Each structure stands twice: as structure tokens, then as C-alpha cells.
Amino acid sequence: MATAWWAANRHEVFPVSKTVFEVIGRPGSGAADYWCAAGDFARTALRSRTANRLYIWKAVGPSVTQPGRRAVQFAFSPPKGAENVDPGYSLSVRLVGDNLTIGAAFQYCLGNDPFDWQRRLGW
């Protein structure tokens, strides 16, 4: 079993395959928590450009890497059949193919402290 990568919001991230990774939920996790962890992992650990898109590969449900826990799987491309999903206006982790840019996902990590975003970006 691979070691967890910890996102800024303390959610664990595990690889599922070479192209898919899984964010493990915590009690009370909402959509913003999953997107924050996915954006932070893509940006920080994988060093992906913030303009690249993240797609929900598998909606919130049972984890494949941590049995007994809930998770959302993300990838840099949509799963077959979900190429034209319109993300709409509400944040969700229930629709396969739903997507955000890495930068937009990472914004959910930023707190209310006006200097928090500067510290997290290393400024």
C-alpha cells in the first residue's frame, strides 16, 4: 500500500493508477474539502499547471485504497462517456466528469486569513 500524501486541509491522497488518484474523506467532508485536496495534490505533488483541468473519475463513494472510508477519484481527463459534462454552478462530488481547473480547486484550500494564501503559495 502506498503512503498517503497529505493535502493542506489534512485530507489523504493515494494513487489508484498511473492516471487516477483518490482523495479520502474525513467525517463531515464536503465537496470543497475533496476539491481542495485534489487541487493541492495536483499543483504541489504532481507540479501540474493551474490552468489544467481536474475531472471526477469516480463520484463520492467507497474508497478502493482505504476500505471502509469514503473517497472521490480524480484524473486529468474525463472518463469515457463524460467528456461533455457541464459543471454547472454548484460545487459537487457526485457527478462523474464534473471538472474544475487545478487553480479553482486549490482556491477551496484558502482560509479566511488574508495572508493564508500567501503562506500556502510560498510568498
Q: What is the distance between the alpha carbons of residues 50 and 55, in angstroms, rounded to a whole number?
A: 14
> What pLDDT does 105 receive?
96
60-117 pLDDT, tens per residue?
A: 999 999 999 999 999 999 988 877 777 677 899 999 999 999 999 999 998 645 555 5
CB-CB neighbours of 39 under 10 Å: 27
Phi, psi at residue 12, to the nearest 5°?
A: -85, 145
- CB distance 69 to 25 below 8 Å: yes
CA 115 to chain centre: 23
2-48 pLDDT, tens per residue?
A: 689 999 999 999 999 999 999 999 999 999 999 999 999 999 999 99
Closest CA to 56 of 75, 41, 71: 75
User: Cell numbers of 64, please?
Assistant: 478502493
* DSSP H helices in 17-115: 31-40, 102-107
Full-prediction pTM beyond 0.85? yes
Half-sphere exposure of 60 (CA within 13 A, CB side): 15
